[in-house]
């Protein structure tokens, strides 16, 4: 039967002084890492931020009394400088003049859930409504010129990954 040999713990474990030195080195590295991480984002953000030459104009849009924007989905500008804001509030499509003065709301009863708006070269207004699953082309006067999709069509379908590809998300206009 083999005899057991008793091994002293001191032969294999580091001394208390060695522990202290390791802990001190780890603390020093942690402090250096924290100092580096606290300085780096500010330096990188200043270096990476482009100068976009925009000026913030508070309260630019002059909404009618009692109105406010709700989840703005898109903004488009016509050739005349008129600004169209498409949002999810009571009057989804609102037109402003170049100075931000309210001109009119357009086709309030046509939209379910605003998603995007564009203006083409002829100043026709294109809207994407993900609530009704319809893309509308409106004349500058606000008359419907074209409707792509059927209101509520996807509501009767199973929402699979394939049917999600049929949801309109944006519109692009070209000169041809």
Q: Is the pTM value of this prediction over 0.85?
A: no
Q: What is the CA radius of gyration of the chain?
A: 31
> Rounded to 10 degrees, what is the CA torsion of 139, 144, 145, 151?
140
CA distance 171 to 152: 19
pLDDT at 168: 53
Separation of alpha carbons 8 and 3, rounded Å: 16
- Do 123 and 141 touch, CB atoms closer than 8 A? no
Could you give phi then psi for residue 139, rounded to 5 degrees?
Answer: -70, 165
The predicted structure's pLDDT at residue 162: 38
d(CA 103, CA 83): 10
Please report the pLDDT score of residue 165 as a whole number: 39
DSSP bridge pairs for 86: 74, 93
Maximum pairwise Cα distance, the chain: 104
pLDDT at 91: 94
CB-count exposure of residue 42 (10 Å: 0-12, 13-18, 19+): exposed
Say what the pLDDT of residue 69 is.
94
Residues of the chain where predicted confidence (pLDDT) is lower than 50: 155-166
d(CA 100, CA 82): 8
């Amino acid at each position: 039967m083999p005899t057991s040999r008793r091994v002293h713990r001191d032969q294999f474990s580091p001394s208390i002084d060695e522990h202290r030195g390791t802990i001190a080195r780890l603390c020093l590295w942690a402090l250096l890492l924290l100092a580096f991480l606290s300085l780096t984002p500010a330096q990188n953000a200043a270096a990476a931020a482009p100068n976009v030459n925009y000026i913030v104009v508070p309260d630019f849009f002059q909404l009618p009394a009692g109105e406010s924007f709700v989840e703005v989905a898109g903004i488009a500008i016509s050739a005349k400088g008129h600004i169209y804001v498409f949002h999810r509030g009571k009057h989804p499509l609102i037109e402003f003049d170049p100075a931000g003065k309210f001109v009119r709301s357009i086709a309030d009863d046509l939209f379910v859930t605003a998603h995007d708006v564009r203006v083409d070269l002829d100043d026709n207004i294109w809207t994407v409504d993900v609530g009704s699953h319809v893309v509308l082309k409106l004349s500058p006067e606000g008359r419907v010129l074209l409707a792509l999709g059927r209101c509520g069509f996807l509501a009767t379908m199973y929402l699979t990954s394939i049917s999600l590809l049929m949801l309109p998300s944006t519109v692009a206009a070209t000169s041809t």
